Chains A and B, each alone.
Chain A
Amino acid sequence: SYVLTQPPSVSVAPGKTARLSCGGDNIGLKSVHWYQQKPGQAPVLVMYYDRDRPSGIPERFSGSNSENTATLTINRVEAGDEADYFCQVWDSSSGYRGVFGGGTKLTVL
């Protein structure tokens, strides 16, 4: 089955740039979606099809996907960005299944 690998934690100072990675075998050939989850809340979509932002998501959020790594970049990080971030793809190699990465806890110092 397809595996997505995310670093458990990333820390960044306010105003700096956070880069959250999502690794997978030839993930550049898949569409990657990203969700933000704050404590006690349901996930919220923050990026879809690698680099498209839903309405209401600040332009500070951007995405990329190439070869074996997809990246969610958050510029000018704010305290309110502190959350868990999960990447997600669909895997059709053996049946059709959704796959989530293990998640990255973004801490704003």
Chain B
Amino acid sequence: EMELLESGGGSVQPGGSLRLSCSASGFTFRNYAISWVRQAPGKGLEWVSGVSGRGDHTYYADSVKGRFTVSRDNSKNTVYLEMSSLRGDDTAVYYCAKDTSADSGAYFDSWGQGALVTVSS
């Protein structure tokens, strides 16, 4: 059974940094792209970033470009989202989601349970 587990969430002050991790199991990790999708409290889903299975292609939403960096370590079956210059509107539950293609562009067939990031002074 496919499983994704986020970790690293927490509270941080505006301007601060945080790194989320997404650990995967139950599938051949290197064969699939992974995206990060966030959901602000009471709001809808927002795609944030994606990384290809080999880690050679990365994609970002305009709202986070230049502040967030996505990467992966296929030897550890883990994807990372490095977040810096955090702002209040980055407050959200962050989900990692498995794409069904090697590079982003298909659909998400498995999601983690989410990690809450709160940006507040």
Contact = CB atoms under 8 A, between A and B. Distances in A.
Q: Is the interface of A mostly helix, strand, loop or mixed?
A: strand
A63 B50 CA distance: 26
Contacts of B106: 48
B104 A35 contact: no
A35 B47 CA distance: 13
The number of chain B residues touching the other chain, given as a range, is 20 to 34
Nearest to A95: B59
B59 A86 contact: no
Nearest to A94: B62
Nearest to B62: A1
Given A42-B113, A43-B95, A100 B108 contact: no
B108 A45 contact: yes
A97 B112 contact: no
A51 interface: no
Contacts of A101: 44
B111 interface: yes
B59 A97 contact: yes
Given A98-B47, A103-B45, A88 B59 contact: no
Which 7 pairs show the lowest CB-CB distances between chains A and B? A98-B47, A33-B107, A42-B111, A103-B44, A48-B107, A100-B45, A102-B44
Given A1-B62, A42-B112, A97-B61, 13 more contacts: A33-B107, A42-B95, A43-B45, A43-B97, A43-B111, A45-B108, A86-B45, A88-B47, A97-B59, A97-B62, A98-B50, A100-B45, A103-B44
9 contacts: A31-B107, A42-B95, A42-B112, A44-B111, A86-B45, A88-B107, A90-B105, A96-B104, A100-B46
